[in-house]
């Protein structure tokens, strides 16, 4: 096979001798950056947050130029028509994150949600919002806000495991990551402090992140600091999943698409219902099945009875 050589976007060199704070090192690890390649502007060459941002911006520009200039080279094939293309930065990050994720002992819990009342409620809300602000809300903001309310009752699902010191770190803010499909691969931007946001504010933040994601302009701040993740595979048609936990988080939810299906009412008569499935993956080192089930039940109750969700919103204002 003919190999097409290209400078790798993945770097595994040690950064231990470079002056940098732990938070800068963490950001570098998350973005697969070798700190030896970053010019530090701090005292004694210390690498600062802004140095990382400048490096990423330059790397993105260089990558674009390389891709433009090397399209013909990367398009070369051998006699079997195999094509060799280097991993892009997003693929490198996903490779390393998912490899790390497989070291976590997962368990998966699945549940069925009757979305009928929320379907009707959302339709009525959107009719009013379109008249007032010309905006529409998807189901995702409801999922996110319901998760935040449930995290208030089960904060261990918004924690991180510190294996080195044998501690559980309970995170104060609900920084909920949303798995997002882009042309360059999967990214997980984060909606910060969801516990302080309304459903409309969450919707606005989702729109902002999606637009920046499509343009490839998400900042480090948008991508870091997640404490819990939701993956809405239903938006592209999936029904069931077994999502992989995003380290260092301890839980993730995979949400399927909504289907109109026959179900029995309280009088054992068949009715139409809007049904959605969710699958939760949790870190079995610190999360047990009972805790995950109770969290799921509470999250489910908010979606099946939107009035309880609205009541919680009123009480937290």
Residue of 96, 114, 284, 305 marked catalytic: 284
Annotation says 284 is catalytic: yes
Annotation says 36 is catalytic: no
SS3 of the chain: the string is: CCCCCCCCCCCCCCCCCCCECHHHHHHHHHCCCCHHHCCCCCHHHCECHHHHHHHHHHHHHHHHHHHHHCHHHHCCCCCCCCCCCCCCHHHHHHHHHHHHHCCCCEEEEEEEEECHHHHHHHHHHHHHHHHHHCCCCCCHHHHHHHHHHHHHHCHHHHEEEECCCCEEEECCCCCEEECEEECCEEECCEECCHHHCCHHHHHHHHHHHHHHHHHCCCCHHHHCCCCEEEEEHHHHCCCCCCCCCCCCCCEEEEECCCEEEEEECCCCCEEEEEEEEEEEEEECCCCCHHHHHHHHHHHHHHHHCHHHHHHHHHHHC
Residue of 36, 288, 302, 305 marked catalytic: 288
Q: Which residues have a catalytic role annotated? A: 284, 288
């Amino acid at each position: 096979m003919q190999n097409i050589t290209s400078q790798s976007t993945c770097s595994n060199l040690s950064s231990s001798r470079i002056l940098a704070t732990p938070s800068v090192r963490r950001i570098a690890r998350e973005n697969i950056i070798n700190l030896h390649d970053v010019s530090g502007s701090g005292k004694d060459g210390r690498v600062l947050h802004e140095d990382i941002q400048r490096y990423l911006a330059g790397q993105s520009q260089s990558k674009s130029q390389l891709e433009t200039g090397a399209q013909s080279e990367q398009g070369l094939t051998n006699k079997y028509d195999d094509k060799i293309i280097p991993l892009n930065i997003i693929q490198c990050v996903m490779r390393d994150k998912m490899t790390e994720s497989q070291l976590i002992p997962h368990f998966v819990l699945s549940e069925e949600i009757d979305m009928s009342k929320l379907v009707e409620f959302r339709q009525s809300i959107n009719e009013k919002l379109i008249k007032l602000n010309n905006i529409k809300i998807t189901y995702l903001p409801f999922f996110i806000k319901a998760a935040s309310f449930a995290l208030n009752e089960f904060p261990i699902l918004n924690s991180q495991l510190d294996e080195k010191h044998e501690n559980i770190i309970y995170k104060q803010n609900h920084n909920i990551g949303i798995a997002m499909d882009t042309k360059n691969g999967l990214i997980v931007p984060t909606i910060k402090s969801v516990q302080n946001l309304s459903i409309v504010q969450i919707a606005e933040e989702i729109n902002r992140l999606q637009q920046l994601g499509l343009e490839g302009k998400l900042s480090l701040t948008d991508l870091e600091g997640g404490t819990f993740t939701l993956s809405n595979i239903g938006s592209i048609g999936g029904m069931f999943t077994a999502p992989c936990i995003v380290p260092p988080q301890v839980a993730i939810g995979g949400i399927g698409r909504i289907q109109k299906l026959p179900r029995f009412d309280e009088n054992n008569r068949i009715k139409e219902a809007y049904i959605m499935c969710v699958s939760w993956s949790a870190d079995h080192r610190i999360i047990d099945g009972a805790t995950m089930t109770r969290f799921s039940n509470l999250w489910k109750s908010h979606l099946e009875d939107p009035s309880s969700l609205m009541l919680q919103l009123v009480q937290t204002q």
